[in-house]
Amino acid sequence: MTDKKQGAPLAPTTTRGAVDAFLTKLAAVPAVRTAGQRGRLLFALDATASREAAWDRACQIQGEMFRETSALGGLDVQMAYYGGFGDFRATAWVSDSASLIGPMTGVHCLAGKTQIARVLRHALDEAKAAKVNAVVFVGDCMEEHADALGALAGELGVRGVPVFVFQEGHDARAESTLRQIAKLSGGAWCRFDASSASQLRDLLGAVAVYAAGGRKALADYSARRQGDVLLLAKQLR
C-alpha cells in the first residue's frame, strides 16, 4: 500500500516547471466540439481521509469553473468521488454550481483505498452515452495496478477524452502512474500543494473553459488572467 504522508513542498522552480508543462500540453490538446452543444466536464476527486483539508478548497473552486464558462454557452459538469470502503458516487450532470454545493458539502472524507480505475471506467461509460470533452482528476495517492489504469486511460484517449490530473503532495509512485494516465489519454499532469489554491483554481478554470469553448476560448481566458495561466497565450499563438 502506498504511504499517503506528504513530503516537503517542492521548490518554486520545480512547481513552475510542472505548471509550464501542463499549460503547454493543454494548449496542444485538440478540442472536439459539436456546434450548438454544451461542453461536458467530469470532475472526479479522491475523498479518502488524506484529502479532507483539500476537499474544502475543491468546494470553492468548482463554482469558479461555472462562472468562467457561462459566457461560452455553458458547461455541464458531473462530480464523481470515492472514499471509505469501496464507496463510489457520481452526481447527475448539472449546469450550475448551486446544484453541486449540496453534494460536495455533504461529503465526509473517509479512510480507504483509491478507486481510480472506477473513475476511469465511469468516464468511459459516460463517454459512450454522450460526448465528454474532458475529465479532471484531483488526488494524492495511487494503490492500484498501474498497467490496468494505463489500459483504461488509453481507451479514453482513443475516444478523445483527455484526463487532466492534478496531484496533491509528492507520492512518487502515484506521480509515475498519474503521469501515465494523463499521457495515454491525451491530457496533462500538474502538481499543486496547500499553498497554491489560487493556482489550482485558475488551472481548473482553464480546463473548464477549454471543455466549454475550445482552444480559442482558452486563449481569451488566459489573456484575462495573471500569473501561470497567462502563459497559455504564448502557447496558443
DSSP structure string for 22-87: HHHHHHHSPP---TTPPEEEEEEEE-SGGGHHHHHHHHHHHHHHHHHHGGGT-EEEEEEEEETTTE
CA 134 vs. chain centroid, Å, equals 8
Residue 74, sorted as left (phi over 0), alpha (psi -120 to 50) or beta, turns out to be: left
Place of cell 496533462: 188
Q: Between vectors from CA 17 to CA 75 and to CA 28, what angle results, nearest 5°?
A: 45
Lay out the sheet containing 134-139: strands in order across.
87-90, 75-83, 39-46, 134-139, 163-168, 188-192
Mean pLDDT for the chain?
75
Grid cell, residue 228, equals 501561470
pLDDT per residue over 83-112, tens digit each?
Answer: 888 889 898 998 876 676 666 666 666 777
Q: Averaged over 137-147, what is the pLDDT?
A: 92
Residues 128 and 76: their CA atoms lie apart, in Å, by: 16
Tell me which of 52-61, 122-131, 167-176, 195-204 is least confident: 52-61
d(C-alpha 177, C-alpha 185), whole Å: 12
- Rounded-to-integer distance, Cα 186 and Cα 102, Å: 32
**In contact, 75 and 39? CB cutoff 8 Å:** yes
Q: Is the pLDDT of residue 199 over 80?
A: no
Which of 125, 114, 132, 147 shows the shortest CA–CA distance to 45?
114
Better-predicted residue by pLDDT, 210 or 24: 210
166 neighbors 208 (Cβ within 8 angstroms): no
**Most confident of the ranges 32-41, 119-128, 182-191, 216-225:** 119-128
Of the spans 102-106, 131-135, 209-213, which averages the highest pLDDT?
A: 131-135
Q: With 0.85 as the threshold, say if the pTM is over it.
A: no
- pLDDT at 60 (0 to 100): 63
Cell matching residue 146 = 498501474
pLDDT, residue 84, reads 81
Query: What does residue 181 show for φ and ψ, rounded to 5 degrees?
Result: -60, -45
For position 103, what pLDDT does the model report?
A: 67
| Res 132: pLDDT | 94
CATH superfamily of the 37-236 domain: von Willebrand factor, type A domain (3.40.50.410)
Strand, coil or helix: 220: helix
DSSP type of residue 97: T
Which residues sit opposite 90 in a β-bridge? 80
Q: In whole angstroms, what is the distance from residue 123 CA to residue 135 CA?
A: 7
Residue of higher predicted confidence among 106 and 215: 215
Determine the Cα–Cα distance for residues 167 and 158; give it in Å rounded to an integer.
23
